[in-house]
Amino acid sequence: MTYEFEGRTEKEAIDRAAEELRLEKDDFDVEILEVQRQGIFKKGRVRIRVHTDKPAAAPYAAPAEGGAPDRGGAEESGVSRRTGFGAPEAQTDFEQTLIDFVTNLITHMGYSGTVSVLFREDRKLGLKIDSEYSSILIGKKGKNLDALQLLANIYAGRQGREDMRIILDTENYRIRREESLVRLAYTVADRVRENRGSVLLEPMNPFDRRLIHTTLNDIADVETKSEGEGLYKQVRVYYKGLR
């Protein structure tokens, strides 16, 4: 399924897509259709096309001119879109089931550890793994943690909760990874602006790629694009005059 959205920046357009489709940002891929510049240093409007294999959680209708999209009554549901941090102990049978699953998963891998709730949001549950083997559970560039997270999401779907996105973290890796990628993005941007060239980054998952794109979105003379096939694509950062 494909949808189109607009925003003042790529980040704003992506945020709007996630909100209106009621999907997580790593549930869809993004294609930049058009960038309209405004002024010298800022881009004006960005139009994107969203590709996803997951159905929207609520019916979505494209807005009429000047109108607002139908969000399926989400605003009237009375359900908080974000509950945030809370008790680390399981509050529902579903949470306990997920905690037990992840605990058994790492145990069968041969490592000890405890699992607790990190945060709760609407359609998203964060779980934290505390283990002396955290570095192994994270793996190179977080690939082991991503694999564990994928299994947890598959299991949640088999429990009838395809609408729930499970996020696994340990040793605050997700936050540290995000900070590292933002620093990398700015460092590479400075390099391509100085050399008037391009740099191809390492293969990344959709979330990491999107972070690079949105971080550099407002730098007027630098562009980014994803290259390759499959889940792990590469981001090319290049001086705008090269395109």
pLDDT digits (tens, 9 = 90+) for 209-228: 988 998 898 888 899 999 98
User: 59-73 burial string, b = 16+ CB within 10 Å, else e?
Assistant: ebeeeeeeeebebbe
d(CA 121, CA 130): 21
Using alpha carbons, list the distances in angstroms from residue 206 to 19, 226, 227, 234, 235: 18, 10, 12, 10, 10
Q: Give the 3-state secondary structure of 25-79.
A: HHHCEEEEEEEEEECCCEEEEEEEEEECCCCCCCCCECCCCCCCCECCCHHHCCC
Asked if 185 contacts 231 with a C-beta cutoff of 8 angstroms, the reply is no
Contacts of 5 (CB under 8 A, 6+ apart): 13, 14, 16, 17, 20, 47, 48, 50
Is residue 122 over pLDDT 50? yes
Predicted confidence band of residue 135 (pLDDT cuts 50, 70, 90): very high
| Structural domain boundaries in the chain | 1-79, 82-171, 173-243
Average pLDDT over residues 39-44: 44
| pLDDT at res. 67 | 39
Between 35-44, 72-81, 129-138, 157-166, the lowest mean confidence (pLDDT) is in 72-81
Please give the backbone phi and psi of residue 14, each rounded to the nearest 5 degrees, phi first. Answer: -65, -45
Q: Domain 173-243 carries which CATH code?
A: 3.30.1370.50
Model pTM score: 0.57
Q: Whose structure tokens read 């699992």?
A: 115
Assigned CATH topology for domain 82-171: GMP Synthetase; Chain A, domain 3 (3.30.300)
| H or E element, residue 239 | strand 234-239
